[in-house]
Amino acid sequence: MNRDSSSGPGRRTVAKAALLGTAAVLAGPAAVARADRPLVLRLPAPTGPHPVGLRTFALTDPSRTDPWKPEPGEPAFGARRVMISVLYPARTVRGFPRAPQLTPAEAGVFTGLAPLVHPGLPAAGVDWGATLTHGHVGAPPLPGRRPVLLYSPGGGDSRTLGTTLAEDLASHGHVVVLVDHPGDASQVELPDRMRVTVLRGEPDAETFRTMVDTRVADLRLVLDRLGSLPLAPVMDRHRTGIYGHSAGGTAAVSALAGDDRIVAGANLEGYLDLDPVEGLARPLIHFRTDGFAGASRLTASWEGVPGRRVRLTGAGHWVFGDHAFLVPRLRAAGLVTAVTRDALIGPARPAAAVSSVRRELRSFFARHLS
């Protein structure tokens, strides 16, 4: 995606090259067979009346040191930095190009990381850099002040894998801020370097605690800086909501409970047993699937937490993001197995689950951010 910065990405490290090599070994024969004709994946268009504009920004928090350790040979990370993409209703998109879901550098890294972050995804046979979003880079915003939504993605995912839901919300009149969490996300292209995930499988308790605390601090940084962004005139920061998936849902509810600037929140299948939130008085909605492997912990962690519950049937944990659209096309092309599809997004067609999430979120935020 376009960066509001003149700096280009740094060279990939030896560690990244090792990851790419490992992932290539994991690629199945179907993926290798299609390497000469890589699949181009497409995302569905948003359903609202407005076209969508997009701008991307780098933010630095000089008060925090990045909590994650660099790979051997990499320079220290220094002050905490995050990337955000802002999607908004546009006045016109004519003459403004559609942004790719991943920049060329991000796509190259994700090609190798995909089967490590989500086992079963192919490490070859897909042109991840060819997928276009429906966000038009630099398009002028539609006049007026609009409610703001912050999004924190699932653990291991980059912000761009939440594009489709964010575009849909923006097309219906919201300003949506996708927040990346470097070190946790699969890859994040900062203005001067590429960050790759430290996660290898499910995080232990200490790592998960660090993830959530860091995400909450990142979200507060974004809230602090919204008023200084070039798009501030179209943001009504008195009508700010938040939603997040998995670890992002955990962080979203924690941020909602601890920051008066957030009016309402949505939890997309995130555990709520890290911090006490039983007395939370702000509007909250919870989504869960019937295919989530952590269902027992999830159920226990939601006890005593207020908010409406929405259950998605025939769905898996990663149906809340763009995987809902990408994985079925990978399956149709023979690049993932039925087992992988079911593990990621569930055995049912994802259209019903996606439609339910879109409809419920639009209704919830319209009611509480009006």
Predicted confidence band of residue 3 (pLDDT cuts 50, 70, 90): very low
Smallest Cα–Cα separation from 88: which of 231, 221, 218, 220? 231
Of 144-148, 199-203, 275-279, which one has max mean pLDDT? Answer: 144-148
Which pLDDT score, from 0 to 100, does residue 315 have? 97
Contacts of residue 11, Cβ cutoff 8 Å, sequence gap at least 6 = none
Which pLDDT score, from 0 to 100, does residue 31 have? 40
Which pLDDT score, from 0 to 100, does residue 202 have? 84
Question: In 263-308, where does DSSP find H-type helix?
Answer: 295-302
Predicted confidence band of residue 199 (pLDDT cuts 50, 70, 90): confident
Among the ranges given (222-226, 283-287, 348-352, 354-358), the one the predictor scored with the smallest mean pLDDT: 348-352
List, as one string, the DSSP characters of 194-218.
EEE----SS--HHHHHHHHHHHHHH
Q: pLDDT, tens digit, for every residue of 74-97?
A: 899 999 999 999 999 999 999 999
Q: Residues 169, 177: contact at Cβ < 8 Å?
A: no
Q: Is the pLDDT of residue 359 over 80?
A: yes
Q: Is the pLDDT of residue 32 over 70?
A: no
Among the ranges given (19-28, 39-48, 235-244), the one the predictor scored with the smallest mean pLDDT: 19-28
Containing H/E element for 219? helix 205-225
- What percent of the chain has pLDDT above 70? 90
Per the prediction, the chain carries an average pLDDT of 90
* C-alpha atoms less than 13 angstroms from C-alpha of 225 in its C-beta half-sphere: 22
Which pLDDT score, from 0 to 100, does residue 21 have? 41
Which pLDDT score, from 0 to 100, does residue 8 have? 35
Q: Is the pLDDT of residue 278 over 80?
A: no
Which residues on neighbouring strands pair with residue 79, listed in sequence order? 65
Which pLDDT score, from 0 to 100, does residue 27 have? 40
Which pLDDT score, from 0 to 100, does residue 68 have? 96
Q: pLDDT, tens digit, for every residue of 102-142?
A: 999 999 999 999 999 999 999 899 999 999 999 999 999 99
